[in-house]
A and B are shown apart, each in its own frame.
Chain A
Amino acid sequence: MTPTYDRVQPGDPLPEGRFPIDRARLIAYAGASGDHNVIHWNERVARAVGLPDVIAHGMATMALAMRVVTDWAGDPAALLSCSVRFSRPVVVPDDDSGALLVVTGSVRELLGDARVGVVLRASVGEDRVLSSVQAVVRLA
């Protein structure tokens, strides 16, 4: 159910987002974003710079995490601000399933003017891949 400002409470959970990140998604994101950094699609070069394998674009992970907020608010135009720290790389093996990004969140505070602050957690397995994940969204 789409939240409304008069009903939402600090601590309310946001619906969890589960986002498979496979090599195909990285190629699509590279094209769409213009970030053709080779570590996001080429294993040989990723390993040569010390990575265990190809890693996802940090910004792709951020975009997916923010979908949890905009899906919950029911409106991508409602997200006023967001920020993340990139804490761990998302390793994307060359297989059919890739890495599974799991994003959870909750309302942190009501900010007035129909705006709420939310905090999120973004993990792949045990790794917290994004930290200090926050957003401000305007609700109906």
Chain B
Amino acid sequence: MPVNRGFIGRQFAAPTTYEVGREHIRSFCRAIGEASPVCLDPAAARAAGHPDVVAPPTFLTVLSFRFAADGPVADPELGLDYRLVVHGEQGFTLHRPVVAGDVLHSVVTVADITDAGRNELIRTVTEVTGAQGEPVATLTGTIVSRGTAAERTG
């Protein structure tokens, strides 16, 4: 069953802000083996010109899981069968480094839903802004809904 193309253009704002924490950054660094002092030690981060420890560049993936229940993928009206979903692509553009102490707001837009052979591709763009409303990051992602493309006749 194809997913609901009426979702193209719909926006999903996170219901609350996300507070970036030092210990969370440290835990993420341990998981990926990142040992840079600017990610772990506030004094080193400040010496390098940052307000606090810096998150590794893919850290904002945490937003998709923190706010999954409020996003397009979890919306039953989308008609997505999560068992058929695989992650297709992911991109991050950091307008500035993410640091501990940041209070972030994020809005996910369903940019497009297209067919790719028998699959459907759902492309999302997430704009992340900081406490002053300043741009922090833009995340782009594509998820693949396997085998759900509408059948063609003829």
Chain A residues within CB distance 8 Å of chain B: 19, 25, 28-29, 31-36, 49, 58-60, 62-64, 66-67, 70, 75-77, 79-86, 132
Chain B residues within CB distance 8 Å of chain A: 24, 27-28, 30-34, 36, 38-39, 48, 50, 54, 56-58, 61-62, 65-66, 83, 86-94, 97, 140
**Is there an interface contact between B32 and A75, defined as CB atoms closer than 8 Å?**
no
**Is there an interface contact between A76 and B54, defined as CB atoms closer than 8 Å?**
yes
**Is there an interface contact between A67 and B32, defined as CB atoms closer than 8 Å?**
yes
Q: Which residue of A lies closest to B25 (CB)?
A: A32
How many whole Å from A73's CB to the nearest CB in chain B? 10
Q: Which residue of B lies closest to A30 (CB)?
A: B31
How many whole Å from B145's CB to the nearest CB in chain A? 14
How many whole Å from A140's CB to the nearest CB in chain B? 11
Most buried by B among A28, A58, A64, A77: A77
Docked Cα-Cα span, A27 to B27, in Å, equals 12
**Is there an interface contact between B58 and A32, defined as CB atoms closer than 8 Å?**
no
**Is there an interface contact between A64 and B140, defined as CB atoms closer than 8 Å?**
no
How many whole Å from B81's CB to the nearest CB in chain A? 11
Ranked 7 nearest A-B pairs via Cβ? A34-B65, A83-B91, A28-B31, A32-B31, A79-B57, A77-B97, A32-B28
**Is there an interface contact between B57 and A70, defined as CB atoms closer than 8 Å?**
yes
**Is there an interface contact between B30 and A70, defined as CB atoms closer than 8 Å?**
no
Docked Cα-Cα span, A133 to B140, in Å, equals 14
Chain A residues near B61 (CB-CB < 8 A): 33, 35, 59, 63
Docked Cα-Cα span, A64 to B94, in Å, equals 17
**Is there an interface contact between B91 and A76, defined as CB atoms closer than 8 Å?**
no
**Is there an interface contact between B94 and A31, defined as CB atoms closer than 8 Å?**
no
Chain A residues near B54 (CB-CB < 8 A): 76-77
Chain B residues near A86 (CB-CB < 8 A): 86-90
Chain A residues near B27 (CB-CB < 8 A): 28, 31-32
Partner of B57, one of A49, A60, A82: A82
Chain A residues near B58 (CB-CB < 8 A): 59, 62-63, 66, 82
